[in-house]
C-alpha cells in the first residue's frame, strides 16, 4: 500500500518534479483543440436521470417520467458520468530496458504517459487510481479525483524499482474480484508474459462489464534486434543466456515480434478492447497527442 506521507515534503517534490513537469508539458500540448475527454464514451449504457436544462437534446427527454412527475428529466448515460480509471502499470524487470537510441526506459516512458493521462482525467473530475505489479500487485492506490492524487501517483512511480517477473493474467483475475463498480482499466505493459493467462483475465473482465485499454509499451530494439556481431542475449527477468549471431535469425525474429504485436491487437479487438502500441523512441508528445485525438474521433463516432 502507498505510504501516508505529506507531499509538501521538499525531498518528495524534488524527486517527482521532473516527471510531473514532463507530463504537464505533454498534456498542455496534446489536448490543444480537444473538446471532450477521450476516455468518455467507453461505456454508453443508461446510468441515471438528471433534470432538463436549456440546451439539452430534447430527444432524450423521458416522457414517461414527465407523465408521473410533471417534471422534465433527461436520460443520462454512463459516458456522461465520471469515469473511474485505474492504471495497471507493469513494474517487472523487463520494463527497465532502455535502448541506446532512447532517453527513457520502458518504465519511465510508461510512467510519463500515466501521470499525463492522470492529469487530464482529474481535470475533468474523473477518479484515477494506480496498481503497480510484477508477479503480484506491489502497490494499490484507490481511485481519487483530488489534485493531490497526481503527486501521490508520480511519487509512487518515481520510487518504484522494477524487478522480478511479469504475471499479468493472475493480477487481472484478482483485480476483477475487487472491483465493486464498473471501471476502466488501463493496462500499461510490454506484455512479455503468458498471454493465454492474460486473455483469460480479459475475458473475466469483459464478463463483469469492465472496460479495458491496453497501452503496449516496447523499445524498438525489441522489434528489430539491431545488434551486429556475436552477442550474448540475457533474459532480463530470469537467468537464461544465449550466445548468438543476430544476422542468422534477425528476419525470423522480426517476423515473430510483428506477429506478437498484431496478435495482441486482434485478441484485444475480439473482446471489444482498444490496443495502442507505443515505442520509446517516438516523441512522447506526438505519441500521446495522436492517441488522444484518435480516441476523441472514436468517441464522436460512437455517439
For the stretch 133-161, pLDDT in tens is: 999 999 999 999 988 999 999 999 999 99
For the stretch 223-263, pLDDT in tens is: 988 766 555 556 555 666 665 566 667 788 889 999 999 99
Give the pLDDT band of residue 302 (cuts 50, 70, 90).
very low
Grid coordinates representing 247 are 544476422
Q: Which domains, from first to last, does the chain contain?
A: 10-36+83-302 (3.40.50.410), 46-78 (no CATH)
215 class by beta-carbon count within 10 Å (0-12 exposed, 13-18 middle, 19+ buried): buried
Grid coordinates representing 255 are 517476423
| pLDDT attached to residue 12 | 52
For the stretch 91-111, pLDDT in tens is: 999 999 999 889 999 999 999
For the stretch 181-208, pLDDT in tens is: 888 999 999 999 999 999 999 999 988 8
Whole-prediction pTM: 0.77
Collapsed DSSP state (helix, strand, coil) of residue 252? helix
Grid coordinates representing 235 are 533474459
Pick from 29, 44, 32: nearest CA to 301: 44
- Residue 98 or residue 50, greater confidence: 98
Q: Of 14-28, 207-221, 264-278, where does mean pLDDT reach its minimum?
A: 14-28
Amino acid at each position: 500500500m502507498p505510504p501516508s506521507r505529506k507531499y509538501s515534503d521538499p525531498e518528495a517534490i524534488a524527486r517527482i518534479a521532473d516527471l510531473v513537469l514532463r507530463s504537464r508539458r505533454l498534456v498542455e500540448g496534446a489536448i490543444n483543440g480537444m473538446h471532450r475527454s477521450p476516455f468518455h464514451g467507453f461505456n454508453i449504457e443508461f446510468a441515471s436521470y438528471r433534470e432538463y436544462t436549456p440546451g439539452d437534446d430534447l430527444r432524450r427527454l423521458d416522457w414517461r417520467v414527465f407523465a408521473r412527475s410533471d417534471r422534465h428529466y433527461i436520460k443520462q448515460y454512463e459516458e456522461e458520468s465520471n469515469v473511474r480509471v485505474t492504471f495497471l502499470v507493469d513494474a517487472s524487470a523487463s520494463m527497465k530496458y532502455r535502448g541506446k537510441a532512447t532517453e527513457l526506459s520502458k518504465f519511465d516512458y510508461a510512467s510519463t504517459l500515466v501521470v499525463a493521462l492522470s492529469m487530464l482525467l482529474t481535470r475533468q473530475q474523473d477518479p484515477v487510481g494506480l496498481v503497480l505489479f510484477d508477479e503480484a500487485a506491489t502497490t494499490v492506490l484507490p481511485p481519487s479525483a483530488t489534485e493531490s492524487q497526481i503527486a501521490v501517483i508520480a511519487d509512487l512511480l518515481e520510487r518504484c524499482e522494477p524487478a522480478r517477473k511479469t504475471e499479468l493474467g493472475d493480477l487481472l483475475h484478482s483485480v476483477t474480484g475487487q472491483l465493486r463498480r464498473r471501471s476502466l482499466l488501463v493496462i500499461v505493459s510490454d506484455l512479455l508474459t503468458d498471454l493465454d493467462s492474460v486473455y483469460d483475465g480479459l475475458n473475466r473482465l469483459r464478463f463483469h462489464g469492465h472496460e479495458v485499454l491496453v497501452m503496449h509499451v516496447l523499445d524498438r530494439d525489441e522489434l528489430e534486434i539491431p545488434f551486429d556481431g556475436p552477442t550474448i542475449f540475457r533474459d532480463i527477468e530470469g537467468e537464461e543466456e544465449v550466445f548468438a549471431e543476430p544476422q542468422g535469425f534477425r528476419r525470423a525474429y522480426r517476423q515473430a515480434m510483428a506477429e506478437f504485436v498484431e496478435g495482441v491487437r486482434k485478441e484485444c479487438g475480439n473482446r471489444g478492447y482498444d490496443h495502442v502500441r507505443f515505442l520509446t523512441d517516438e516523441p512522447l508528445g506526438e505519441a500521446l497527442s495522436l492517441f488522444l485525438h484518435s480516441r476523441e474521433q472514436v468517441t464522436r463516432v460512437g455517439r
